[in-house]
């Protein structure tokens, strides 16, 4: 029986990457006097590296104008990441990054019906705080029974540690939870932790092959295009509903997409 929804953040709760994190990274490069800029295509490649600091270090490894010494690189990545997260919080506070359509009704419905909620993300706690305070209000933390962020684990997704921590925090077996993810790395983390998985495709991972989900679709805002089909309609709207998630979880038919 489904007892908790475990939400990924970037790409799943909101399209934060292209107009949020990417813009904030570029701001940090400029603020520190660096000529580096990540355009949309390059950032899409870099998203295969989870974690902002890890992403910076990966990019520096390919640059001839990055510091040569490892310690200097680490210090620069730390500084850039801090400036980037401050810029990200300002972008999110300005209201320009919306929650993805279909997310809020499912969060509300879950609370009303006693289904527990969790956040399982590789992004920094400060970024989660900024995004959720902007959309759910200053008491956003009360919506969630467990919040696992980038700082809480030794290994970021696709490692399963974040999911295993969330399950331990909730005292649930893996099959009593449902992960909602948008990326191959996030999906791999949930799968590896044996947590049933729903994939809501995001802009940067629209066509990537993803296996072993109980449902894959174009977003929670629409019922069309999901495999298996969303069949548990209880309301009149056009969006995926909590009952659809409960239905997919109970059916446990595994689907693959794009492979
Ligand atoms: C996405 C990530 C993060 C963000 C940037 O995590 O990999 O690194 O791109 O955030 P998820 P930080 O989809 O699990 O939420 O700079 O704080 O790492
Ligand atoms: Mg994601």
Contact 244, 230 (CB under 8 A): yes
Give tens-digit pLDDT for 146-180: 999 999 999 999 999 999 999 999 999 999 999 99
Say if residues 32 and 72 touch (Cβ distance below 8 Å).
Answer: no
Residues near ion ligand 2 (CB < 5 Å) are 8, 10-11, 182-183, 186
| Mean pLDDT score of the chain | 96
Helix (H, G, I), strand (E, B) or coil at 256: strand
Q: What is the pLDDT of residue 82?
A: 97
Closest listed residue to residue 184, CA positions, set 171, 172, 197, 173: 197
107 lies in the same domain as 160: yes
C-alpha span between 187 and 189 (Å, rounded)? 5
Tens-place pLDDT, residues 38-74: 999 999 999 999 999 999 999 999 999 999 999 999 9
Among candidate residues 60, 93, 126, the one where a domain is terminated: 93
Q: Cα separation of 13 and 83, whole Å?
A: 23
Q: Which atom of ligand 1 is nearest to the CA of 17?
A: 9
Distance (Å) of CA 252 to CA 69, 123, 213: 50, 28, 8
- 70, 60 in Cβ contact below 8 A? no
Catalytic positions: 8, 10
How big is the chain by its Cα radius of gyration, in Å?
18
What are the tens digits of pLDDT across the range 15-33? 999 999 999 999 999 999 9
Q: Are residues 144 and 234 in the same domain?
A: yes
Distance 206 CA to ligand 1 centre (A): 17
29 is in which domain, residue-wise?
17-93
- 131 and 84 housed in the same domain: no
238-257 pLDDT, tens digit each: 999 999 999 999 998 778 87
Q: What is the pLDDT of residues 99-154, one digit of tens each?
A: 999 999 999 999 999 999 999 999 999 999 999 999 999 999 999 999 999 999 99
CB-based pocket (< 6 A), ligand 1: 8-11, 17, 21, 50-52, 121-124, 127, 150, 157, 183, 186
Q: Is the peptide bond before 228 cis (omega within 30 degrees of 0)?
A: yes
Over 80: is that where the pLDDT of 233 sits?
no
For range 197-201, the mean pLDDT: 98
Pair (85, 106) in one structural domain: no
The domain total for the chain is: 2
């Amino acid at each position: 029986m489904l007892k908790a929804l475990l939400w990924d953040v970037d790409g799943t709760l909101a399209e934060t990457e292209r107009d949020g994190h990417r813009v904030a990274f570029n701001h940090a490069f400029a603020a520190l006097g660096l000529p580096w800029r990540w355009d949309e295509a390059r950032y899409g490649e870099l998203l295969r590296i989870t974690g902002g600091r890890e992403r910076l270090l990966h990019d520096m490894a390919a640059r001839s104008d990055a510091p040569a010494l490892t310690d200097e690189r680490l210090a620069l990545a730390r500084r850039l990441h801090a400036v980037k997260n401050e810029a990200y919080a300002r972008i999110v506070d300005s209201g320009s990054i919306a929650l993805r359509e279909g997310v809020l009704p499912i969060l509300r419905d879950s609370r009303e019906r006693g289904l527990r909620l969790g956040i399982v993300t590789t992004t920094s706690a400060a970024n989660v705080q900024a995004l959720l305070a902007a959309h759910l209000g200053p008491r956003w933390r009360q919506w969630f029974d467990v919040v696992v962020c980038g700082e809480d684990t030794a290994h970021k997704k696709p490692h399963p540690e974040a999911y295993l921590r969330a399950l331990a925090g909730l005292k649930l077996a893996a099959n009593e939870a449902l992960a909602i993810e948008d990326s191959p790395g996030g999906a791999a983390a949930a799968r590896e932790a044996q947590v049933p998985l729903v994939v809501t495709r995001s802009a940067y991972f629209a066509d990537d092959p993803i296996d072993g989900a109980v449902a894959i679709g174009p977003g929670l805002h629409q019922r069309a295009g999901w495999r298996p089909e969303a069949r548990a309609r209880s309301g009149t709207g056009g969006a995926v509903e909590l009952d659809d998630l409960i239905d997919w979880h109970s059916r446990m038919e595994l689907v693959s997409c794009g492979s």
